[in-house]
C-alpha cells in the first residue's frame, strides 16, 4: 500500500528578529494508513513543527509533502482548509474548546466548515464513542481536564478523517485522565484509525506502534514496534475548495455574533450607543420633515391647484419692479382663463386686544362674492371658520372687519373668546367676525395671522395700494398652467420687455411653489443630516475599535476555527456579521428612538410624524453600510491570521 503521509526532504526555518532557527532540516518520513506513530524528542527538536506541516497548519520552506498520494505543498489556502476540515482531525494539548459552549456544539464545529451541513446525531455518536454521551449539554467549564480532552477527540472524529494528529494530548492531565485519553486513542487505532502523536511522555510513546525521535530538526531514529492494527487505504481524493456559505455556517456566524455581543453586554451597549444616537437623530428628522410635507400637502385643495401667484422678482441684479394695480388690470384683461384676479398685501404688523399684543401677518383679501358665498367657498380653501368670512361689499365699503387664525386668538384672547371681539391693527380698530383653523405651517410654529379687506388695508391701515402679490384663480386645475403662460405674456407685453430680456416678475402655480418648498426642505435636511451623520461616524469608529479588541481577545478562537477547516473568507464574514449585527441593533433601537422623539416633537410643533418603509429601509441599509465599512479592516485582520501563530497567542 502507498503511504498515507509521505514527507520528502522538508525544511522549515523561522526568523525572530535577528535570530534564525532551523526547525526542520531535510526531513523525510512516510506513514502508512492504520499506524499509531509517536513523534518524540526534547523541546525545540522540531516535532511540533513537523506535525503542523503534516496537519496543513503550516507550510514547508522546501521539500515535498504527499498526502493520500497527492502533492500538497503548493495547494492554495482554500484547498488546504477543505483538507483540514474533511481529512484531518486535530487534538490540542490545551483542548481549545470554545468557551461557554456545550460539548455537543464543540464537537459539531468542524462539520460547520465542510459545507455539507451538521448532524447532532453524529456528534452524539462521537461523544458516546469516548464515553461522554451523558455530558453533551455540559459546557467546557463544567468538564474536567480529561473530559475536555475526550471532547476534543470526539471533535477530531466527527468528520471521519483519514488521520488524527494529537499535539501533547496528555500534557496537561493528571494520571487518571492521561489513562482515559490514551485508552480512547489506542482504541481508535485498534479500529483502524491512523494516529500521529507528539509527546514527551514515555508512557504515551510506549503505547505507540512506531516511535520517531527527533533532535535539532532531524530524525535520529525510527523504531517500528508492531505493524498497523488494521491496514487502511493510502490514497484518497482531496476535497475541492468550498465556494459560498452553507445555511449551517451562516447560522453559526449569527450564533457566534450574538454570543459575543451578549458576553460583553456593557461594551456592546456602549458601542451601539453611537449608532443609536446617529440613527435616532436622522430618523426623527426624516419622520418630522416627511410628516411636515404630508401635512402641508394635505392642506392643499382644488382651489390651491387653480391658483397662480404673480409677485416681484428679486435677485436679478437690478432694482426689483414692484407689482402694481396696473399689473392687476393687465392680468384681468389678458388672462381669459382667469376666473378672478385678486390683489394681495401681506405685512407683519402689531396687533393688540385689551392688554395683550403680538406681531403677526396681516394679509388682505377682496372678500366673498355672493356666488362664492352661495357655493360655500372662501379664500382660505378647506379651512373651517368659526363665524364667517368678510364679503365683497365689506371690502368695497372699507369695513373694519377681520378674520384671525387660532394662533392669533390664543395670543390675544382666552380660549374661544376671539369671535365678535375687538382687535387693533396698527392702532385701527377691527371687529373679529371669524376665527379660522391654522394652516399646517402656521400651526407648527404658532404664527398668528389676520385677514382683512384689501380696500380697508390700502386706505385705512397702510395708506398705500402697493401690492405684494396678485392671486389669479384659474377656472379649473387643468387650466392653471395655460393661465400662467397667458399671465406671463400679458405682463411682458405691458412692461414692454424685449424678446431676449428676462421677466421682471415671478409667476408661479401652487405646483411650482410646492417644488420650491421641497427643494428648500431638501437643502435644510441635507445640512441637518450631515450633522447627525457625524454621530454615525463616531459610532462607526467605535465599532472598528471594539472589533479590533474582539479580534485580539479571540485570536486563539480564530486559530482553532482555522485549524478545524475555516477559510479566510469564513473568518472575514464571521467578524463582519458581528459588526453588522451590532449596527443593526443600534439601527433598530435608533428607529424607535427617532420615532419617539418625533412624537415628542408633535406636542410642540403639531406635525404628525410619518415613518414609512423607505425610512426604515434607509436606517437599516445605512446601519449595514456602517457595519461593513468600519468592520471590514478588523475582520480582514482576523481572516489573515496564521492558524499556528493564532493558537500560540497569549
Q: Which has more pLDDT, 254 or 403?
A: 403
- Whether the per-residue pLDDT at 7 is higher than 90: the answer is yes
**pLDDT score of 317:** 65
User: Buried b vs exposed e over 425-460: b needs ≥16 C-beta within 10 Å?
Assistant: beeeebebbbbbbbbbebbbebbbbbbbbbbbbbeb
Per domain, the residue ranges of the chain are 5-243, 257-297+516-647, 302-511
**pLDDT per residue over 212-223, tens digit each?**
999 999 999 999
Strands (DSSP E) found in 313-414: 338-344, 346-353, 356-365, 385-387, 401-405
Cell of 491: 405682463
**pLDDT per residue over 610-645, tens digit each?**
777 777 777 778 778 888 888 888 889 888 888 888
**pLDDT score of 47:** 92
Return the closest-CA partner of residue 35 out of 230, 234, 222: 230
**pLDDT per residue over 38-96, tens digit each?**
999 998 899 999 999 999 988 899 999 999 989 998 889 889 999 999 999 999 888 88
Q: Which has more pLDDT, 383 or 425?
A: 425
**pLDDT score of 650:** 61
Query: What DSSP character marks residue 233?
Result: -
**pLDDT per residue over 583-608, tens digit each?**
888 888 888 887 887 777 777 766 67
**pLDDT score of 514:** 67
- Whether the per-residue pLDDT at 337 is higher than 70: the answer is yes
Rounded-to-integer distance, Cα 637 and Cα 575, Å: 10
**pLDDT score of 298:** 60
With H, G, I as helix, E, B as strand and everything else as coil, classify residue 136. Answer: coil
Rounded-to-integer distance, Cα 300 and Cα 503, Å: 28
Any bridge partners for residue 167, and if so which? 198
Burial class (CB in 10 A: 0-12, 13-18, 19+), 127: buried
CB 199 within 8 A of CB 38: yes
Any bridge partners for residue 66, and if so which? 6, 71
CB 597 within 8 A of CB 532: no
pTM of the model: 0.66
Neighbour count for residue 2 (Cβ, 10 Å): 13
Return the closest-CA partner of residue 404 out of 465, 346, 361, 344: 361
**pLDDT per residue over 450-497, tens digit each?**
999 999 998 888 877 678 889 888 888 888 889 999 999 999 999 998
Average pLDDT, the chain: 85
Q: What is the average pLDDT across 285-291?
A: 74
- Whether the per-residue pLDDT at 499 is higher than 90: the answer is no
Chain-centre distance for alpha carbon 389: 53
> What is the CATH superfamily name and number for domain 5-243?
P-loop containing nucleotide triphosphate hydrolases (3.40.50.300)
Rounded-to-integer distance, Cα 102 and Cα 147, Å: 12
Amino acid at each position: 500500500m502507498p503511504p498515507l503521509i509521505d514527507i520528502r526532504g522538508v525544511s522549515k526555518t523561522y526568523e525572530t528578529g535577528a535570530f534564525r532557527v532551523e526547525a526542520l532540516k531535510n526531513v523525510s518520513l512516510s506513514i502508512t494508513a492504520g499506524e499509531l506513530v509517536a513523534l518524540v524528542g526534547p523541546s525545540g527538536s522540531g516535532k511540533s513543527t513537523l506535525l503542523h506541516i503534516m496537519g496543513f497548519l503550516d507550510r514547508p520552506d522546501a521539500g515535498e509533502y504527499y498526502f493520500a498520494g497527492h502533492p500538497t505543498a503548493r495547494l492554495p489556502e482554500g484547498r488546504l482548509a477543505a483538507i483540514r476540515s474533511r481529512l484531518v482531525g486535530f487534538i490540542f494539548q490545551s483542548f481549545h474548546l470554545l468557551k461557554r459552549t456545550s460539548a455537543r456544539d464543540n464537537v459539531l464545529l468542524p462539520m460547520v466548515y465542510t459545507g455539507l451541513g451538521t448532524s447532532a446525531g453524529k456528534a452524539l455518536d462521537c461523544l458516546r464513542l469516548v464515553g461522554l454521551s451523558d455530558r453533551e449539554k455540559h459546557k467546557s467549564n463544567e468538564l474536567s481536564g480529561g473530559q475536555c480532552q475526550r471532547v476534543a477527540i470526539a471533535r477530531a472524529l466527527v468528520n471521519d478523517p483519514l488521520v488524527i494528529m494529537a499535539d501533547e494530548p496528555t500534557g496537561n492531565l493528571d494520571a487518571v485522565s492521561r489513562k482515559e485519553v490514551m485508552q480512547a486513542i489506542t482504541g481508535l487505532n485498534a479500529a483502524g484509525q491512523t494516529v500521529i502523536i507528539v509527546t514527551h511522555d514515555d508512557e504515551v510513546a510506549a503505547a505507540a506502534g512506531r516511535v520517531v525521535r527527533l533532535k535539532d530538526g532531524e530524525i535520529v531514529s525510527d523504531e517500528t514496534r508492531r505493524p498497523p492494527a488494521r491496514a487502511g487505504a493510502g490514497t484518497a481524493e482531496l476535497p475541492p475548495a468550498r465556494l459560498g456559505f452553507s445555511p449551517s455556517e451562516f447560522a453559526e456566524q449569527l450564533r457566534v455574533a450574538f454570543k459575543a455581543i451578549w458576553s460583553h453586554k456593557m461594551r456592546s451597549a456602549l458601542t451601539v450607543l453611537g449608532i443609536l444616537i446617529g440613527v435616532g437623530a436622522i430618523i426623527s428628522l426624516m419622520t418630522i420633515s416627511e410628516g411636515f410635507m404630508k401635512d402641508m400637502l394635505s392642506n392643499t385643495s382644488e382651489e390651491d391647484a387653480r391658483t397662480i401667484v404673480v409677485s416681484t422678482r428679486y435677485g436679478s441684479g437690478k432694482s426689483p419692479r414692484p407689482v402694481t394695480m396696473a399689473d392687476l388690470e393687465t392680468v384681468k384683461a389678458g388672462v381669459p382663463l382667469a376666473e378672478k384676479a385678486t390683489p394681495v398685501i401681506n405685512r407683519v404688523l402689531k396687533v393688540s386686544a385689551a392688554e395683550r399684543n403680538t406681531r403677526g401677518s396681516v394679509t388682505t383679501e377682496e372678500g366673498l362674492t355672493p356666488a362664492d358665498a352661495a357655493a360655500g367657498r372662501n379664500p382660505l380653501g378647506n379651512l373651517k371658520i368659526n363665524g364667517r368670512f368678510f364679503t365683497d361689499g365689506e371690502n368695497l365699503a372699507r369695513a373694519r372687519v377681520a378674520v384671525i387664525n387660532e394662533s392669533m386668538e390664543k395670543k390675544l384672547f382666552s380660549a374661544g373668546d376671539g369671535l365678535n371681539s375687538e382687535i387693533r391693527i396698527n392702532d385701527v380698530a377691527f371687529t373679529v367676525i371669524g376665527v379660522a383653523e391654522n394652516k399646517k405651517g402656521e400651526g407648527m410654529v404658532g404664527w398668528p395671522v389676520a385677514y382683512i379687506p384689501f380696500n380697508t388695508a390700502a386706505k385705512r391701515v397702510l395708506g398705500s395700494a402697493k401690492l405684494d402679490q396678485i392671486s389669479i384663480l384659474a377656472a379649473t386645475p387643468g387650466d392653471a398652467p395655460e393661465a400662467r403662460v397667458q399671465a406671463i405674456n400679458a405682463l411682458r407685453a405691458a412692461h414692454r420687455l424685449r424678446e431676449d430680456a428676462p421677466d421682471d416678475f415671478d409667476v408661479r402655480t401652487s405646483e411650482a411653489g410646492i417644488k420650491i418648498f421641497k427643494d428648500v426642505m431638501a437643502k435644510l435636511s441635507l445640512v441637518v443630516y450631515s450633522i447627525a451623520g457625524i454621530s454615525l461616524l463616531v459610532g462607526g469608529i467605535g465599532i472598528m475599535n471594539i472589533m479590533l479588541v474582539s479580534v485580539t481577545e479571540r485570536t486563539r478562537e480564530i486559530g482553532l476555527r482555522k485549524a478545524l477547516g475555516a477559510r479566510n473568507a469564513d473568518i472575514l464574514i464571521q467578524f463582519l456579521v458581528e459588526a453588522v449585527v451590532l449596527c443593526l441593533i443600534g439601527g433598530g433601537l435608533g428607529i424607535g428612538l427617532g420615532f419617539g422623539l418625533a412624537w415628542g416633537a408633535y406636542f410642540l410643533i403639531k406635525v404628525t410624524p410619518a415613518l414609512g418603509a423607505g425610512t426604515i429601509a434607509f436606517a437599516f441599509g445605512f446601519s449595514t453600510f456602517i457595519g461593513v465599512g468600519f468592520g471590514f479592516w478588523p475582520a480582514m485582520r482576523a481572516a489573515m491570521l496564521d492558524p499556528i501563530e493564532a493558537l500560540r497567542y497569549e
